[in-house]
Amino acid sequence: MSIESFKVVLVGESGVGKTSIITQFIDQTFQEDQQSTTGGTFSTKSVICDGGKILKFEIWDTAGQEKYRSLTTMFYKDANAAVMVYDVTRKESFEELKNYWSGQIKESSPENIILAIAGNKSDLIEQETVDEGEARNFAKELNAIFVSTSAKNSEGINNLFEEIAKKYTGSSTITIKEDEGDVQPVEEQKNTMKIEGGGKEQKQKKKGFC
């Protein structure tokens, strides 16, 4: 059974829910008081594609604050896929995605990078300020995947990563692996690296799985 590593980077303004999307995908949990990311972190999760091939996602979370933007570039310059996240209740987060993040990724990442847009916090639809049709049209312009997500109730979270895997592998079905069935030892699977602002300090910490 072959295993291939696949780097996915999540970008977007601070507070749009990048960390929460990753946490929901990795261990099916949600924290209301999630702290903002400073620098970047990565976690791993594997999926099974057609023919039994395993695609091991290395999922990188990045800081959305403007002061960390120069650091963020180092995460997506060699990425296989980039997910641009906006908050459906904050029009400015979508405008920044259009006016800044999409251009930066196009300029600084591999030509064949897979792009996806996640309209997050769909559970707050009554507070929506971004028209989904406009977001979908923008995704079409970029040849990007579009998924409406809610990190809080898990809507669209698995679908987001499944669609990325399908586009990369050409598979028609994707199965998310159970943690205890992963190829790597459980302790190794739980490793999370945190790179502090400036990229000078590195710390290892454990991230739990359900």
Domain positions in the chain = 3-206
* 39 neighbors 63 (Cβ within 8 angstroms): yes
DSSP 8-state code for residue 15: T
pLDDT score of 86: 98
**CB neighbourhood size of 177 (10 A):** 16
Backbone angles phi, psi at 71, to 5 degrees: -70, -35
- Which CATH fold would you assign to the domain 3-206? Rossmann fold (3.40.50)
pLDDT score of 174: 96
The tens digit of pLDDT for each residue in 59-89 reads: 998 875 554 556 667 778 899 999 999 999 9
For tokens 């690296």, the residue is: 193
d(CA 47, CA 176): 4
The pTM is what? 0.81
pLDDT score of 184: 33
Q: Mean pLDDT of successive 10-residue segments in the chain (210 residues)?
A: 91 92 92 59 90 93 62 81 97 96 91 97 95 98 98 97 97 82 33 38 34
